[in-house]
C-alpha cells in the first residue's frame, strides 16, 4: 500500500512547484527569477514521477495529470507549509529553505527504499534537491546576515513559517519512510544555517497539522488549485 | 549608490569543448552566488560541464579608440598566414 505515501510526496512537489512558478516574471532580480523557475520545473518534474507511479500502483486508470488536475482540495495530501502564499521574497526563501532541508533528508532515506521504483525516483530527485537546499541555505544566510531591512524580514519569515515545520516530522503508516527519524539531521542543518544567518528560532514547538492527512488544509490551497486547474477542468480535451 | 549587484562575466566549458568560452554576464552578490546564477542562467540545457566567473571589473579591455592602431596594421600582411609553404605529403593533415 504505497499509493497514499506516493501521493503525499507528489502533492508536496506539485503544490510547491505551482507556488514557486507564481514568481515567474516577478522575482527581484532576473537571475533569481530564472533560478526560481528552474526549481519550480524540477519540482513539477518530480511530481510527474511520484504521481505517475501512484496512479500506476492504484490501478484505477488515473494518471499524474488526472491526479493533479481533477482532485479537490480535501483530496490533497501535501504539507500545510507548501500551500502557504508566497508573501514576499523573504517568506518564499524561508519556506524553501525549511522545505528543502526536510526534502533532502526524506529523499536521502528513500534512496535506499526496498521498492526499486521508489528508490530510483528518490535518487534522481536527490541530485536536484541537493542544489535546491544549497541555494536556499546560501540565500537565507545572505539575507539574514544582511542589511537591517533584510534581517528583519527574514526573522519575520522564520517566525511565520516555523509553526509549519513540525508537520514534516509527524508520521503514520502511509509514509514511505519514518519521518520522525529525519528530525535530528534536519535540525543540525537548519540550526547551523540560522546561526550563520544571525536569526533566532522561535522557542515554541507548536505545529499546524492537517495537510498530509487531508484533515484540515488552509483556505489558501483551494484558491491556488482554482488557478492551477481552471484550464484542464474547463477544457478537458485541450492539448498543446 | 547603485542598488545593482556587481557584474560577473561567465565562461562555460562545453561537453566536448577544450577551453572555456565567454557566454555572457550576470549580476550576483559574490563569486559563489555568481556560480549558482550561472548554473541557472547558462547551463539549463546541458551547455556545460565547468563554469568560470570573473568580476567584470577585473577585466582590462582594449579601447575601441585604439582600434586603428592595434588592428589595422595586420590588414596588409597576408604573409603572416602560413599559407605560402608547400607542405610535404608525408606531413599529413595540418
**Cβ pair A177, A133 in contact under 8 A:** no
Higher pLDDT, A233 or B1: A233
pLDDT of residue B1: 46
- Domain assignment of residue A50, yes or no: yes
- Identify the helix (H) or strand (E) that includes residue B41: helix B31-42
Q: What's chain A's average pLDDT?
A: 96
pLDDT of residue B76: 85
- Domain assignment of residue A160, yes or no: yes
CATH code for position A108: 1.20.1260.10
pLDDT at A206 exceeding the cut of 70: yes
A→B interface, C-beta within 8 Å = 29-31, 34-35, 38, 131, 134-135, 138, 142
How far apart are the C-alpha atoms of A197 and A140, rounded to whole Å?
6
Cβ neighbors of A106 (< 8 A, separation 6 or more) are A9, A177, A179, A182
**Cβ pair A194, A143 in contact under 8 A:** no
How far apart are the C-alpha atoms of A98 and A174, rounded to whole Å?
22
DSSP E strand stretches across A172-240? none
Q: Which three cell numbers stand for residue B67?
A: 582600434
Candidates B2, B8, B32, B36, partner chain A, best to mutate (most A CBs within 10 A): B36
Strand partners, B7: B27
Share of chain B above pLDDT 90, in %: 54
Average pLDDT over residues A55-82: 97
Nearest to A34 among B5, B29, B40 (CB): B40
CB-neighbour burial class of residue A88 (10 A; exposed 0-12, middle 13-18, buried 19+) = exposed
Cα pseudo-dihedral A196, A197, A198, A201, rounded to 10: -100
How far apart are the C-alpha atoms of A80 and A83, rounded to whole Å?
6
How far apart are the C-alpha atoms of A13 and B91, rounded to whole Å?
61
- Domain assignment of residue A155, yes or no: yes
- Domain assignment of residue A54, yes or no: yes
CB-neighbour burial class of residue A203 (10 A; exposed 0-12, middle 13-18, buried 19+) = exposed
User: Torsion-angle region of residue A72: left (phi > 0), alpha (psi -120 to 50) or beta?
Assistant: beta
Give residue for cell 544571525. A198
- Identify the helix (H) or strand (E) that includes residue B10: strand B7-13
| Chain-chain contact of B27 with A29 (C-beta, under 8 angstroms) | yes
pLDDT at A1 exceeding the cut of 60: no
| Chain-chain contact of A31 with B32 (C-beta, under 8 angstroms) | no
Domain range spanning residue A174?
3-234
**What is the complex's ipTM, to 2 decimals?**
0.80
- Domain assignment of residue A239, yes or no: no
- Domain assignment of residue A55, yes or no: yes
Instruction: Check CB contact of B67 with chain A, cutoff 8 Å.
Output: no
Nearest to A35 among B5, B29, B40 (CB): B40
Q: What's chain B's average pLDDT?
A: 89
| Chain-chain contact of B26 with A135 (C-beta, under 8 angstroms) | no
* Cβ neighbours, 10 Å, residue B56: 15
Instruction: Check CB contact of B41 with chain A, cutoff 8 Å.
Output: yes
Nearest to B33 among A30, A34, A138 (CB): A138
Give residue for cell 534581517. A151
pLDDT of residue B2: 65
Alpha carbon of residue A64 to chain centroid: 17
Model pLDDT for residues A115-139, shown as the tens digit of each residue: 999 999 999 999 999 999 999 999 9
**Residue of chain B nearest A42, judged by CA positions:** B44
- Domain assignment of residue A240, yes or no: no
- Domain assignment of residue A157, yes or no: yes
**Residue of chain B nearest A39, judged by CA positions:** B40
| Chain-chain contact of A35 with B36 (C-beta, under 8 angstroms) | yes
- Tell me how close the Cα of B12 comes to any Cα of chain A, in angstroms: 17
Number of domain units in chain A: 1
- Tell me how close the Cα of A38 comes to any Cα of chain B, in angstroms: 7
pLDDT of residue A191: 97
Instruction: Check CB contact of B35 with chain A, cutoff 8 Å.
Output: no
| Chain-chain contact of B36 with A142 (C-beta, under 8 angstroms) | no
Count residue pairs from A and B with Cβ separation < 8 A.
27
Amino acid at each position: 500500500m504505497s499509493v497514499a505515501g506516493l501521493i503525499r510526496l507528489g502533492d508536496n512537489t506539485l503544490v510547491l512547484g505551482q507556488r514557486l512558478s507564481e514568481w515567474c516574471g516577478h522575482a527581484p532580480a532576473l537571475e533569481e527569477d530564472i533560478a526560481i523557475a528552474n526549481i519550480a520545473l524540477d519540482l513539477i518534474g518530480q511530481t510527474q514521477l511520484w504521481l505517475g507511479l501512484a496512479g500506476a500502483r492504484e490501478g484505477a486508470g488515473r494518471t499524474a495529470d488526472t491526479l493533479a488536475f481533477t482532485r479537490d482540495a480535501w483530496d490533497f495530501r501535501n504539507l500545510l507549509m507548501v500551500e502557504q502564499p508566497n508573501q514576499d521574497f523573504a517568506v518564499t526563501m524561508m519556506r524553501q529553505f525549511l522545505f528543502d532541508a526536510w526534502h533532502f533528508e526524506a529523499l536521502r532515506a528513500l534512496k535506499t527504499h526496498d521498492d526499486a521504483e521508489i528508490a530510483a525516483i528518490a535518487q534522481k530527485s536527490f541530485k536536484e534537491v541537493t542544489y535546491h537546499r544549497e541555494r536556499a541555505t546560501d540565500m537565507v544566510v545572505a539575507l539574514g546576515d544582511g542589511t537591517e531591512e533584510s534581517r528583519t524580514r527574514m526573522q519575520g519569515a522564520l517566525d511565520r513559517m516555523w509553526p509549519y515545520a513540525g508537520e514534516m516530522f509527524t508520521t503514520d503508516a502511509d509514509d514511505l519512510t519514518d519521518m520522525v527519524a529525519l528530525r535530528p539531521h534536519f535540525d543540525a542543518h537548519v540550526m547551523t544555517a540560522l546561526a550563520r544567518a544571525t536569526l533566532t528560532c522561535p522557542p515554541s514547538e507548536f505545529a499546524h497539522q492537517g495537510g498530509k492527512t487531508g484533515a484540515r488544509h488552509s483556505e489558501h490551497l483551494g484558491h491556488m488549485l482554482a488557478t492551477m486547474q481552471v484550464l484542464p477542468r474547463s477544457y478537458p480535451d485541450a492539448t498543446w | 549608490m547603485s542598488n545593482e549587484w556587481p557584474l560577473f562575466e561567465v565562461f562555460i566549458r562545453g561537453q566536448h569543448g577544450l577551453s572555456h568560452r565567454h557566454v555572457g554576464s550576470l549580476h550576483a552578490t559574490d563569486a559563489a552566488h555568481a556560480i549558482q546564477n550561472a548554473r541557472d542562467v547558462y547551463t539549463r540545457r546541458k551547455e556545460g560541464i565547468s563554469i568560470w566567473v570573473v568580476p567584470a571589473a577585473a577585466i582590462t579591455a582594449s579601447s575601441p579608440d585604439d582600434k586603428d592602431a592595434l588592428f589595422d596594421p595586420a590588414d596588409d600582411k597576408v604573409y603572416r598566414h602560413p599559407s605560402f609553404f608547400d607542405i610535404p605529403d608525408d606531413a599529413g593533415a595540418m
